[in-house]
Amino acid sequence: GESVGLHLPTLSVQEGDNSIINCAYSNSASDYFIWYKQESGKGPQFIIDIRSNMDKRQGQRVTVLLNKTVKHLSLQIAATQPGDSAVYFCAEKDGNTDKLIFGTGTRLQVFP
Amino acid sequence: NAGVMQNPRHLVRRRGQEARLRCSPMKGHSHVYWYRQLPEEGLKFMVYLQKENIIDESGMPKERFSAEFPKEGPSILRIQQVVRGDSAAYFCASSPGQQYGYTFGSGTRLTVV
């Protein structure tokens, strides 16, 4: 079936460096993508989203890139901080349904 | 705006008992979604509801699980005759419509002993 997957289960970065978290998706009908951050014991928190008619969107310290040709999504975090340590999920929404399909997550560890 | 409210935060049930999980969506949101998360795993879709209607329950087990979103009051996820495999975190999310992202609650952590 269709699925969303991540390349790296754990990413360790030094405080101040930039982080890149990658995600592959397989449903070509997906037209809306979201990155969520989940801290331990909490619910997923919206970070940034992008629609399929765009290839880049920037927020505060975060950028999402979408490559529809290879069905690849990435989240870039600039100047990573200890507070960024969490599990990050990408999620896709098929334009024909209204449910988000989540990937398995990447754990981001920030060390001093 | 209080956000998506879930209660209880933690729920312990013995095998065979019933678990009732409650979710109040954000004000103005009429779409509610339930997800289940096992430790170190992603969120798995269970059911999508609008007021008084189940829109998509393709992720919900056919037996023992049911969900409702009545005209008045919170959405309820009910698990009858719980088993140890039902132990998980259950998250509720809401949105104002199909073209928007979801806002998640803090979840209910169900432990079956």
CA pair distance B51, B5, nearest whole angstrom: 17
Query: What tens digit of pLDDT does each residue of A57-112 get?
Result: 999 999 999 999 999 999 999 999 999 999 999 999 977 777 889 987 999 999 98
Minimum distance, in Å, between the CA of residue B25 and any CA atom of chain A? 14
Query: What tens digit of pLDDT does each residue of B23-51 get?
Result: 999 998 999 999 999 887 889 999 999 98
Sort B14 into a burial class: Cβ within 10 Å, 0-12 / 13-18 / 19+: exposed
Where are the extended beta strands (E) located within chain B? 5-7, 10-13, 19-24, 31-37, 43-50, 53-56, 65-68, 75-79, 88-95, 103-104, 108-112
Annotate A51-112 with DSSP letters as a single string.
ETT-SEEE-SSEEEEEETTTTEEEEEESS--GGG-EEEEEEEEETTS--EEE---EEEEEE-
Chain A residues with a Cβ under 8 Å from any Cβ in chain B: 32, 34, 36, 42-46, 49, 89, 97-105
Minimum distance, in Å, between the CA of residue B98 and any CA atom of chain A? 6
Nearest to B76 by CA among B26, B8, B14: B8
Query: What tens digit of pLDDT does each residue of A41-68 get?
Result: 899 999 999 999 999 999 999 999 999 9
Chain B residue numbers with beta carbons less than 8 Å from the beta carbon of A103 are 42
Query: Collapsing DSSP states into helix, strand and coil, what is residue B84?
Result: helix
- Among chain A residues, CA nearest to B107: A43
Average pLDDT taken over every residue of chain A: 89
Of B35, B59, B101, which is closest to A46 when you measure between CB atoms? B101
Do the chains contact at B42 and A104, CB–CB below 8 Å? yes
Nearest to B18 by CA among B62, B64, B61, B57: B64
Residue A28 has pLDDT above 90, yes or no: no
Query: What tens digit of pLDDT does each residue of B40-86 get?
Result: 788 999 999 998 899 999 999 999 999 999 988 999 999 999 999 99
Of B48, B99, B104, which is closest to A99 when you measure between CB atoms? B48
Task: Name the residue type at position B36.
Answer: R
CA pair distance A47, B35, nearest whole angstrom: 19
Do the chains contact at A100 and B44, CB–CB below 8 Å? no
| CA pseudo-torsion sign A74, B3, B77, A42 | positive
Do the chains contact at A44 and B104, CB–CB below 8 Å? yes
pLDDT value for A4: 55
| CA pseudo-torsion sign B29, B95, A56, A19 | positive
